[in-house]
Amino acid sequence: MTVEDDGRIRCGWIDQTRLTPDDFVLYRDYHDTEWGQPLRNSAALFERISLEAFQSGLSWLIILRKRENFRRAFHGFDVERIARYTKRDFDRLMADTGIVRNRLKIEATIANARAVADLDVDLAELLWSFAPPPRPRPADLSHVPAVTPESTAMAKELKRRGFRFVGPTTAYALMQATGMVDDHIADCWVPAIRAAS
């Protein structure tokens, strides 16, 4: 855990001593207002799936810094529009220095939009069907898993439905970020949203 200048206890991955002031504010605000908050909007969940895929192998801070560029480049993560992207769109994205220009991740985002468009169930309903029962918050970061049976099952089902870059670790990061699990540490000041059992 980290006690910041404002006297609030935050999860240890918000380390003011290792960040520039601007990056600290960006990361702190994400932690305080977004991370772990239940998100049930399918369009917003598609954005999060996409950004989690782009984050794979990188720092989340890189993605946060570029998030507005991603939103602009991918037309607000409009599933229907992305599902119709052509080679011209792909080439435009590969030339966009404001985003992470990774061929496989860009192809995955387009493929994932097509997979969402083909779903026979709402994306939010599908993803939240894998949320585990509420549990107590972890005592510290060492008690936070990287993969769970639920994230493994989610990844398997998403892959079956044509999604890419959605392995069990990425699926669990999505679950954490969107409030399907509450992995804020027990002493973190952010109020618990889902009641622990």
Query: In this structure, are residues 40 and 124 in contact, taking their beta carbons and an 8 Å threshold?
Result: yes
CA dihedral 65, 67, 70, 75 (to 10 degrees): -150
Picking from 92, 25, 104, the residue whose alpha carbon sits closest to that of residue 65 is: 25
Rounded Cα distance between 174 and 170, Å, is 6
Are the beta carbons of 120 and 168 closer than 8 angstroms?
no
User: Taking the CA atoms of the chain, what radius of gyration do you get in angstroms?
Assistant: 17
Residues 6+ apart with CB under 8 A from 34: 177
State the catalytic residues. Answer: 30, 52, 60
Phi and psi, residue 119, nearest 5°: -65, 145
68, 39 Cβ separation under 8 angstroms: no
Q: How far is CA 4 from the centre of its chain?
A: 24
Distance CA 159, CA 169 (A): 13
